[in-house]
Structure 1
Amino acid sequence: MRYADKPLVEISGLSKSYGKHHVLNDLSLTLDPGIHALLGPNGAGKTTLVNILSTLIPYDSGSVRVLGLDPQRQRSQLQGLISLTGQYAAVDGALTGMENMLMMGQLFGLSRRDSKHRADDLLERFELTAASAKRVATYSGGMRRKLDIAASLIAGPQLIFLDEPTTGLDTRSRQALWDEINALAALGTSIFLTTQYLEEADVLAERIMVLHDGRIVADGTASQLKDRVGGSTIQVHDGAGHIIETLPTQGSAQEVAHALSALARQRPDVGITVRRPTLDEVFLELTGEPVTDQNDKQKENAPA
């Protein structure tokens, strides 16, 4: 079954509590196929939502459909269509990279031949071929992370949940994973991504949702969310590159051109940059928490 005739995710009135702690509060959301990013501070409910959508935990109330299926009542059927990569690599250190891949393929019902073919392709795409015969216990944290993600792709899922996928990856590996996510989306696979690297959401996601205190407090494209903070700002620089003045604008070509024309007449020697709001500023305005603190926490907790 393909989901082309159904929304990717349909949620209405979803609630989840642990004791007296309400993690998700009357949450409603509809997503079409594509790449979607879920942002939020620690404790906002991101992982709980992913775990519900990916069949790992039950919800308390409301309605949930993923690829047209209820993850609570049609769990087995849905599990054959999706894949989940958690915050930290879950591969078996006692096995080699190839053995991990073959094991995952067989768990998903692939023949050994098909598993080997898919494993060879994915190991090459994630630059792990040279290490495929080595025990995973000898891998670096970044290599384990890449293997974990590669293994989650072996059955060609229709929807992939990536929970903090680039935790522990260096810049080059992170860029390689971004390229792979875009390649998967181009082939028709949908991605549901949680991240605290806001650049990641900005680069990848067609739609970004901000979760705070168990509710979606913002939802839209990166550009739409940035517009909530304000328009563009023209920064005026002296010869040493120091910002000596800022001129707020709404970002239209006509308004920016008018401001630059006036600057060129009055102060032709200055330099200028036109700056758009960042997702970091959106995050701070919506949640009251600086994202740099969140990224620092993520780095502290990342695997070695």
Structure 2
Amino acid sequence: MNQTATAIDVVGLRKAYGDHTVLDGVDIAVAEGTVYALLGPNGAGKTTIVRILSTLTTADGGSARVAGYDVRTQSDDVRRSIGVTGQFSAIDELLTGRENVRLMADLAHLPRREAAARAAELLERFGLTDAADRRAATYSGGMKRRLDLAMTLVSRPQLIFLDEPTTGLDPRSRRDLWQIVRELLTEGVTVFLTTQYLEEADQLAHQVGLLDNGRLVAEGTPAELKALAGGETLDDVFLALTGHPATPATDLDSNDDTKEPVR
């Protein structure tokens, strides 16, 4: 019997900033070609996990492998294998949408003709062709998020981190992004999603981890977690297991626990 390959393998991950413990022994395993949603309120440790797994921050303890590579000793290999999109976009608003995507293609060392074709392909895929030659500063929030994701996909990563990608978006833009995630799955892409929106995890995730105060308090499919806590929604589950809701913050600058962009 064939076993599903593991795209992310985290064991005993620990991180502290001074006397403040952010991660307290977290274990996570993510199967290739699936969506894993890490669910928790601001300050739970979600962004710190993304930063460690994307080699932007070093853990104090434990181990982590991403795409088969050790994040500490094989960081260059990890970076070549992943894409990262956070709630703070990485776009340059002085450039057009096309120029932003071409810039990422240049950084990926794509040949000029291939870079132009890839940019046109992604701009069309994300519904940005008509706005491609407008400055990104004129884009709506949803358009900027789609452009940011297009830039992430230039090098065709098979594993992407989406750190609270729909924070601050209107419901239609959120649903558009959900559809993009579903399309990525059909291409075999693995998605590690952090979110405060329980409906988002319920809609998209194969596995959900509930993170609270730096600890993984429960993990399973949405159906398994609902059965565990006897609730009808993941809101019920989180409240039952932690004693408080995973309420989305209203401050768009309130990134998880480090207040730093992840890219």
Question: How high is the TM-score relative to the length of structure 2?
Answer: 0.91
8 Å contact from structure 1 (residues 88, 167) kept in 2: no
Tell me if structure 2 keeps the 8 A contact 1:92–1:136.
Answer: yes
Matched, 1:282 2:233: no
Secondary structure of the corresponding residue to residue 8 of structure 1: strand
| 1:132 partner amino acid | A
Report if the CA contact (8 A) 1:41-1:287 is conserved. Answer: no
**CA offsets 1:55-108 (integer angstroms, 9 cap, x no match):** 111111111111111112111111111000011212001110000000011112
Residue 139 of structure 1: aligned partner: 139
Q: Take 1:138 and 1:175, find their aligned partners in 2: how far apart are those partners?
A: 22
Aligned position for 1:40: 40
Q: Which has the larger radius of gyration?
A: 1
Q: Distance in 1 between matches of 2:16 and 2:111?
A: 41
Root mean square deviation of aligned Cα: 1.7
Q: Which residue of 1 aligns with 2:6?
A: 7
Offset of 1:214 from its aligned partner? 1.0
1:261 equivalent in structure 2: none
Does residue 1:301 correspond to 2:252, yes or no? yes
Residue 5 of structure 1, CA deviation: 7.5
Query: Are the equivalent residues in 2 in contact too, given 1:122–1:150 (CA < 8 A)?
Result: yes
Q: For residues 52 and 85 of structure 2, what CA distance do their matches in structure 1 show?
A: 14
SS class of match (1:285): helix
Runs (5+) with no aligned partner, structure 1 = 231-275
Deviates more, 1:105-114 or 1:131-140: 105-114
> What SS class does the counterpart of residue 42 from structure 2 fall into?
coil
Q: Runs of 5+ in structure 2 lacking a partner?
A: 255-263
CA distance in 2, matches of 1:288, 1:109: 49
How far does residue 171 in structure 1 lie from its aligned partner after superposition?
A: 2.0
The answer as to whether partners of 2:229 and 2:241 remain within 8 angstroms in 1 is: no
**Highest relative contact order (Cα 8 Å, sep 6+), 1 or 2?**
2
Q: Which residue matches 1:95?
A: 95
Cross-structure match for 1:204: 204
Provide the rounded CA distance (Å) in 1 between the counterparts of 2:17 and 2:242. 22
Partner of 2:29: 30
Given the alignment of the two structures, is residue 75 of structure 1 paired with residue 75 of structure 2, yes or no? Answer: yes
Contact 1:168 1:302 in 2 (8 A): no
**Retained in 1: the 8 A contact 2:86–2:165?**
yes
**Greater mean alpha carbon deviation, residues 92-101 or residues 81-90:** 81-90
User: 1:217 is matched with which residue?
Assistant: 217
Match for residue 245 of structure 1?
A: none
* Maintained 8 Å contact 1:13/1:28: yes
Number of aligned residue pairs: give it.
251
CA distance in 2, matches of 1:196, 1:61: 26
CA distance in 1, matches of 2:85, 2:72: 19
Residue 139 of structure 1: how far off its partner (Å): 1.5
Q: Which residue of 1 aligns with 2:173?
A: 173
Partner of 2:260: none
Question: Quick one: which amino acid aligns to residue 153 of structure 1?
Answer: L
Q: Give TM-score, length-normalised by structure 1.
A: 0.79
Moved more, 186-195 or 71-80: 71-80
Q: Which residue identity lines up with residue 133 of structure 2 in the other structure?
A: A
Q: Which residue of 2 aligns with 1:106?
A: 106
Match of 2:257 in 1: none
Q: Per the alignment, in what secondary structure is the counterpart of residue 223 of structure 2?
A: helix
Q: Secondary structure at the match of 1:179?
A: helix
Measured after TM superposition, the shift of residue 141 of structure 1 is: 2.0
CA separation in 2, counterparts of 1:79 and 1:5?
23
SS in 1 for 2:64: strand
Q: Distance in 2 between matches of 1:146 and 1:169?
A: 11
Bigger CA drift: 203-212 or 164-173? 164-173
Deviation per CA, 1:266-295, whole angstroms, max 9, x where unpaired? xxxxxxxxxx6111111111222223xx22
**Whole-angstrom CA distance in 2 between matches of 1:302 and 1:101:** 25
In 2, distance between residues paired with 1:12 and 1:108?
A: 31
Structure 1: 4+ residue segments shifted above 4 A: none
Asked if the contact 2:51/2:57 (under 8 Å) is kept, the reply is yes
**Between the two proteins, what is the percent identity of the paired residues?**
51
User: 1:187 corresponds to which residue?
Assistant: 187
